Amino acid sequence: MTDKIYARAAQPATPINFDVPAHACDCHTHIHGDVEKFPFFAGRVYTPGPASPEEMAALHQALRIERVVIVTPSVYGPDNSSSLFGMKARGATARGVAVIDDNTTEAQLDAMHADGFRGIRINLATDGVNNPDVGRARFTAAAERMTARGWHVQLYTTLAMISAIKDLVLASPVPAVFDHFGGLEASLGLEQPGFAHLVALVKSGKAYVKISGAYRSSNLAPDYQDIAPYARALIAANPDRIVWGTDWPHPDSAQLAGRKATDVAPFHQIDDGRLLNQLPVWAPDAEVRRKILVDNPARLYGF
């Protein structure tokens, strides 16, 4: 029996062309450990290849980034052990965002806090949830559960869902954090339904947005120029509520015809050096970039 050949996770090809501030943080990454030690969730909708702590360390050395947030992806269900493996490899410069379910106990959450987890993630995108009633119920339950420990609720979703829960976010006792530009589609323009609601939530201070995963919103590789107006609008709304991330190792979670959920989906080959070099285009002011890369993550994740 021959070993499977996996497409390796991308490494930066382009040198960074601006001064990255000390203690900069990549706020959205994943670790996929050895599948024998960290098996995938049977109900997953895609299967990624391996992405190791060593590969992530090389990525961040090239990007001159010290801190990292490791997010448990949907492929593990509520099992956060692969993320914890990555966090322990990184040490004090790592924090985590977990996936939980109704069986997760308060004692387990206490242990996760001690390990460096600072939020939970609700995935309404890969899971295909577009029913506003379901989204509202899941966000409400998550926010209520996180109140006592002060964790945030991270959502991978769409602008339509953000519009449907905006009143809940405004009333929430804990921050909401929207992944990947809130799921906008760059080609639809600044007036697309829901974007104004996202901007208003950021402006209110109740929500953070990750200006990450530009390739999920734009097809204009490698610089994704059409995402720039959205990034600038969000930053202008409230530079204290924006964080940046690579989305490394750039998993392909699309459900493609002929590709089974158990087939390994090759990673997108994204040049994260080129992607980070877009930040000064989006935020020309060095002090604003410091907020995005250092101050906001330190506040949100407790560095």
For tokens 């020309």, the residue is: 284
Question: What's the pLDDT band for 255 if we cut at 50, 70, 90?
Answer: confident
133 SS3 class: helix
Nearest to 176 by CA among 152, 199, 159: 152
Interatomic CA distance for residues 190 and 188, integer angstroms? 7
Supply the range of the domain harboring residue 200.
25-301
Domain of residue 112, CATH code: 3.20.20.140
Q: 19 in a domain, yes or no?
A: no
Q: 174 in a domain, yes or no?
A: yes
Q: 246 in a domain, yes or no?
A: yes
28 within 8 A of 247, measured Cβ to Cβ: yes
Task: Look at the chain and report how many structural domains it folds into.
Answer: 1
| Preceding peptide of 222 cis, ω within 30° | yes
pLDDT at 80 over 70: yes
Percent of the chain with pLDDT over 70: 97
**How large is the average pLDDT for residues 124-141?**
85
Q: 115 in a domain, yes or no?
A: yes
Cα–Cα distances in angstroms (integers) from residue 220 to residues 189, 214, 224, in the given order? 14, 9, 5
For the segment 283-297, what is each residue's pLDDT rounded down to a tens digit? 999 999 999 999 999
Q: 66 in a domain, yes or no?
A: yes
The chain-wide mean pLDDT, for the chain, equals: 94
Give pLDDT, residue 5.
Answer: 46
Cα–Cα distances in angstroms (integers) from residue 16 to residues 3, 26, 226, in the given order? 36, 14, 21
